[in-house]
C-alpha cells in the first residue's frame, strides 16, 4: 500500500528502481489530476504522508492499459541508459507525433546518468557537482516534486474535452542503436511541436540520486495559468516556488 523509499541507494539498480517508481507516480498523478482517465483506472498508494493515485491496467479503459505499456517501454529504455527525455502530451489531434503536432500541454521528464555521482549542475547553477547526495536528500526531493505536481495540477484551468494522450521518447543518439524501439513505441518521422496559444514553461523540480538525475518541466498555454495564485506554491520547506522560464522558448539545449 506504500511507495517505499529504500533505506539506502548504494547501487545503480536501487537508484534505477527508485527512478522508475517516481516516474510512475508522477505520470499517474498528472493523468489523474488532469482528468485523462476515469477513477476506476487508479489505485490508492501512500508516498510518505502523501496519498497518491497510481495508474493501473483497467479492462474497461483501454487508454490506461496503453499508457501502462508505454511506461514499461520507458523502463526498458531507462535500464539501457538510452533515454534522455520522456514527453507526455495531451494532444487535440491523434497523430502520434508523425507530423507537426499542435499540443495544448506537455510534461517533459529529463534524465541523466553518471557513474561518478549525480550531475547537480543539471539545471541548477547554484549547486556544486561534487556534492554528496544522501538517501534523505533524494526522498525529500521526490516528495517535494509530487507535492508541487498536486498543487499545480489542482490550480490549472481544465484541459479541452477532446484531448487524447501521446508519449514521445528522446534518446542519447551517441549510445542508442539506430533501430532501437522499446515495446509499445515506433519511430517518429517528425518531431516538431507547436501551441495554438502562447505557451508558458515551468521548471517544476528535480530529484538526484548517486546514479541518476530526474527533472520535470511543464509547458502549458499561458491562459491556463491566469488563475494560478503563485503564492500558494511558496510554502517554505513544504513546497518551494516554481521557476517560470518565460514564454519565448524552452531551454537552448532542446
pLDDT band at 231 (very low <50, low <70, confident <90, very high): low
Nearest in space to 159 (alpha carbons), one of 220, 111, 214, 112: 220
Strands (DSSP E) contained in 1-74 are 42-47, 50-55
pTM of the model: 0.82
CA distance 208 to 68: 24
Cell numbers found for residue 247: 514564454
Counting every residue, how long is the chain?
A: 254
- Farthest-apart Cα atoms in the chain, separation: 49
Q: pLDDT tens-digit profile of 100-109?
A: 467 888 999 9
Q: pLDDT tens-digit profile of 157-201?
A: 888 887 888 899 999 989 999 999 998 898 877 656 778 788 888
Which CATH number does 12-122+129-225 carry?
Answer: 3.30.900.10
How many C-beta atoms lie closer than 10 Å to residue 111's C-beta? Answer: 22
Q: Where are the domains of the chain?
A: 12-122+129-225
Among 25-29, 69-73, 125-129, where is mean pLDDT lowest?
125-129
Amino acid at each position: 500500500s506504500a511507495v517505499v523509499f529504500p533505506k539506502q541507494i548504494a547501487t545503480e539498480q536501487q537508484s534505477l528502481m527508485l527512478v522508475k517508481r517516481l516516474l510512475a507516480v508522477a505520470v499517474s498523478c498528472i493523468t489523474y489530476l488532469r482528468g485523462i482517465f476515469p477513477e476506476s483506472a487508479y489505485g490508492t498508494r501512500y508516498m510518505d504522508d502523501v496519498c497518491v493515485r497510481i495508474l493501473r491496467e483497467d479492462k474497461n479503459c483501454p487508454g490506461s492499459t496503453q499508457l501502462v505499456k508505454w511506461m514499461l517501454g520507458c523502463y526498458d529504455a531507462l535500464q539501457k541508459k538510452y533515454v534522455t527525455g520522456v514527453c507526455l502530451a495531451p494532444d487535440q489531434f491523434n497523430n502520434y507525433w508523425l507530423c507537426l503536432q499542435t499540443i495544448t500541454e506537455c510534461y517533459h521528464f529529463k534524465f541523466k546518468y553518471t557513474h561518478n555521482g549525480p550531475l547537480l549542475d543539471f539545471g541548477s547553477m547554484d549547486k556544486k557537482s561534487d556534492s554528496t547526495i544522501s538517501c534523505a536528500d533524494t526522498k525529500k526531493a521526490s516528495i517535494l516534486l509530487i507535492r508541487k505536481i498536486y498543487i499545480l495540477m489542482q490550480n490549472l484551468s481544465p484541459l479541452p474535452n477532446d484531448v487524447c494522450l501521446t508519449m514521445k521518447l528522446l534518446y542519447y543518439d551517441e549510445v542508442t542503436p539506430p533501430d532501437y524501439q522499446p515495446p509499445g513505441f515506433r519511430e517518429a518521422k517528425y518531431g516538431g511541436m507547436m501551441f495554438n496559444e502562447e505557451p508558458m514553461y515551468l521548471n517544476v523540480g528535480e530529484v538526484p540520486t548517486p546514479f541518476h538525475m530526474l527533472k520535470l518541466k511543464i509547458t502549458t498555454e499561458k491562459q491556463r495559468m491566469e488563475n494560478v495564485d503563485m503564492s500558494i506554491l511558496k510554502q517554505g520547506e513544504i513546497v518551494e516556488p516554481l521557476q517560470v522560464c518565460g514564454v519565448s522558448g524552452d531551454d537552448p539545449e532542446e
